[in-house]
């Protein structure tokens, strides 16, 4: 495996095989598998799980890692092509990233959406320009529209807990003080469709996922035997749900317009997951969220601290799933 940028770059069978490797490494650890191998991690945006789980996973396989957060102890890196660099950034990613890649065997990059131009973010213009200058194996640590490591961990979490392949999976918009990127919801709807689930995207008006995102998920569902639909009707979506995956994201009708988005979301305070959300759901319905989460804004304490919540299991699986990616990418004979 040379790149891990999008689950859609792999067949369903390839993802299933990667998850089998993750389970094998859990039960049969290989503490020397990546001895002498180095992973570079570049974070243009904050992280808790991605940063710590990659470093821990690499160490558990016998490798090592370094972390660069541009502008925090290192030179600030310019990402815009054609920029006249007379501002804060001392170095361009076109020099900085190949230099970092030359020090390691694989590089991971986190670069969130610019959040101004939806078409540009959908095209992954910024991440694509960075990927272009790197000749080493590359991992997407969250880009404008994707978070494949989160999706792999979420898929594994549902397998671990024996959530049926064709279970009803509701990806629900939830409240947040400001607009957040579309990366996790876009990756999640695709992942669940690729797994073969009955996927419902529940979102208020103004927060529909872009048509290209829905079309990609529907294409995956057509192959896996799943389905994908969207609604703004909570009771319809939640009836019989076996998984509620809560996620915050910004308005797509007011993309890049913080004021317009704020006016819309001001009326949506009740989009916070409470125990009542589970009343029409399946009795065993689980609550998923990628974290970080704002308690009592997106999800209430009662749900997060209750037996339905599997958010910590998801976060733990960031490490186990990524270890499989690293192993396949960097072990001898890979």
Q: Which of 55, 146, 150, 322 binds ligand CP (CB under 6 A)?
A: 150
Q: Which is nearer to ligand CP, 78 or 142 (CB)?
A: 142
Cis omega (within 30 of 0) for bond into 292? yes
Q: Where do we find the tokens 């945006």?
A: 45
Q: Does 291 bind ligand CP (CB under 6 A)?
A: yes
Q: Which is nearer to ligand CP, 33 or 288 (CB)?
A: 288
Rounded CA separation 94/72 (Å): 19
Rounded CA separation 195/192 (Å): 5
Rounded CA separation 55/141 (Å): 13
The CB-of-165 to ligand CP minimum distance in angstroms stands at 24
Q: Which is nearer to ligand CP, 150 or 320 (CB)?
A: 150
Q: Does 37 bind ligand CP (CB under 6 A)?
A: no
Q: Between the CA of residue 39 and those of 4, 22, 68, 174, what are the distances in Å? A: 14, 18, 11, 34
Binding mask 44-73 for ligand CP (x = CB under 6 A): ---xxxx-----------------------
Q: Which of 32, 15, 33 is nearest to 331 (CA)?
A: 33
Name the segment binding ligand CP (CB under 6 A); options: 11-19, 41-49, 59-67, 244-252: 41-49
The CB-of-232 to ligand CP minimum distance in angstroms stands at 26
Q: Between the CA of residue 257 and those of 111, 118, 211, 313, what are the distances in Å? A: 20, 11, 19, 35
Binding mask 130-149 for ligand CP (x = CB under 6 A): ------------x-------
Size of the site for ligand CP (CB under 6 A): 9
User: Which residues lie below 8 Å from residue 52, measured CB to CB, with a gap of 6+?
Assistant: none
The CB-of-82 to ligand CP minimum distance in angstroms stands at 30
Q: Where do we find the tokens 């049969």?
A: 28
Rounded CA separation 228/234 (Å): 16
Q: Does 290 bind ligand CP (CB under 6 A)?
A: yes
Binding mask 82-111 for ligand CP (x = CB under 6 A): ------------------------------
The residues binding ligand CP (CB under 6 A) are 47-50, 142, 150, 290-292
């Amino acid at each position: 495996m040379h790149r891990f940028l999008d689950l859609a770059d792999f067949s369903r069978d390839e993802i299933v095989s990667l998850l089998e490797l993750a389970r094998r490494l859990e039960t049969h650890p290989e503490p020397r598998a990546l001895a002498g191998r180095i992973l570079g991690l570049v974070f243009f945006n904050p992280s808790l799980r991605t940063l710590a789980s990659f470093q821990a996973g690499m160490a558990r396989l016998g490798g090592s890692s370094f972390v660069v957060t541009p502008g925090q102890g290192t030179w600030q890196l310019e990402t815009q092509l054609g920029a006249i660099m007379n501002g804060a950034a001392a170095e361009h990613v076109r020099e900085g990233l190949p230099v970092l890649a030359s020090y390691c065997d694989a590089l991971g990059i986190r670069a969130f959406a610019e959040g101004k131009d939806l078409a540009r973010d959908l095209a992954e213009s910024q991440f694509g320009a960075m990927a272009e200058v790197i000749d080493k194996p590359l991992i997407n640590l969250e880009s404008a529209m994707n978070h494949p490591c989160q999706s792999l961990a979420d898929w594994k979490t549902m397998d671990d807990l024996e959530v049926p392949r064709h279970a009803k999976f509701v990806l629900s918009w939830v409240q947040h003080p400001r607009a957040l990127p579309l990366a996790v919801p876009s990756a999640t709807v695709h992942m669940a469709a690729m797994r073969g689930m009955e996927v419902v995207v529940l979102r208020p008006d103004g927060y529909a996922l872009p048509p290209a995102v829905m079309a990609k998920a529907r294409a995956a569902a057509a192959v896996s035997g799943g389905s994908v639909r969207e609604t703004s009707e909570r009771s319809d979506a939640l009836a019989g749900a076996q998984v509620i995956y809560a996620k915050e994201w910004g308005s797509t009708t007011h993309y890049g317009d913080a004021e317009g988005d704020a006016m819309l979301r001001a009326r949506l305070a009740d989009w916070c997951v409470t125990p009542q959300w589970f009343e029409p759901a399946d009795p065993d319905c689980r609550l998923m969220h990628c974290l970080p989460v704002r308690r009592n804004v997106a999800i209430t304490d009662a749900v997060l601290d209750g037996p339905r919540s599997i958010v910590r299991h998801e976060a733990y699986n960031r490490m186990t799933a990524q270890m499989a990616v690293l192993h396949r990418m960097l072990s001898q004979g890979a």
